[in-house]
Amino acid sequence: MYSIEHKNYLKKIKRHKIFVFSMQILILVLFIFIWQFSASKGLINTFISSSPKRVLESIIGLYNSNNLFNHIWVTIYETIVSFSLGTFIGLIIATILWWNKSLAEILDPYLTILNSLPKVALGPIIIIWVGAKISSIIIMALLISVIVAIINIYEGFINTDVLKINMLKSFGASKIDLFTKLVLPNSLPNIMNVIKVNISMSLIGVIMGEFLVSKEGIGYLITYGSQVFNLDLVMAGIFILCILATIMYYLVNFISKKIIKNK
């Protein structure tokens, strides 16, 4: 049984969450209302900024032409593949670097350089090597997500409490025992945060790749719309992209909380 004070505290937290969520929805509704009102009254140039009504009409047009879900699925598929590979490769390489400190010191400047390099600059090279197809988009997304995953996961590994490591060593724990029983479990919250960041980075990489080579996907819709000066289609693509990013983030966040809770 919870005490009255504890129940009141839980109610206070719940009310605060409801308030925050309500304010988030209110800001979004106000933004859409002001945007549509400004467009209807001629306060803004709808050719440049479009309007919520015209964006909705563009989405309905895509649906009626049976193109909407195809473009969405292509982007989701590319994001899931690049996200899964990036997270897995990042975890494996971070583990290898933790295992071999000398190798980590050798590769440290190269990881920093690769992380700071604008990946879109490598797009033409990737297209020449791989070809203008879906694999080049996935590689582009991998280049963006995997380096971030390696650096952040490795940082979590090396920041494990030294006192706990020394205590396990004093009991004769092997290196694999240290990793599986201390380092990896302690780094789980950090890995979950990396995964949440990685889904966004993968989506960014996919859209960048679709800008360059794709003939399908949300990135292609945005690029095509800008080429034919159809700003309604561009805004529709951005709107769909925002919805996808939100769904992916909350889905990964939900799974992360479940994993950490059952840890």
What was the pLDDT predicted at 137? 86
Residue given tokens 């549509």 in the structure block: 36
User: 3-class DSSP state for residue 118?
Assistant: coil
Q: Give the single-character DSSP code of 161.
A: -
Q: Which distant-in-sequence residues (6+ apart) come within 8 Å of 244 by Cβ?
A: 72, 75, 76, 203, 218
Nearest to 157 by CA among 131, 126, 178: 178
Q: What stretches in the chain show pLDDT beneath 50?
A: none
What was the pLDDT predicted at 6? 66
Tokens for 92, please give them: 């494996």
What was the pLDDT predicted at 30? 94
Q: Which distant-in-sequence residues (6+ apart) come within 8 Å of 88 by Cβ?
A: none
What was the pLDDT predicted at 262? 67
Nearest to 145 by CA among 101, 65, 209, 188: 209
What was the pLDDT predicted at 26? 93
Nearest to 195 by CA among 117, 251, 136, 243: 251
What was the pLDDT predicted at 185? 86
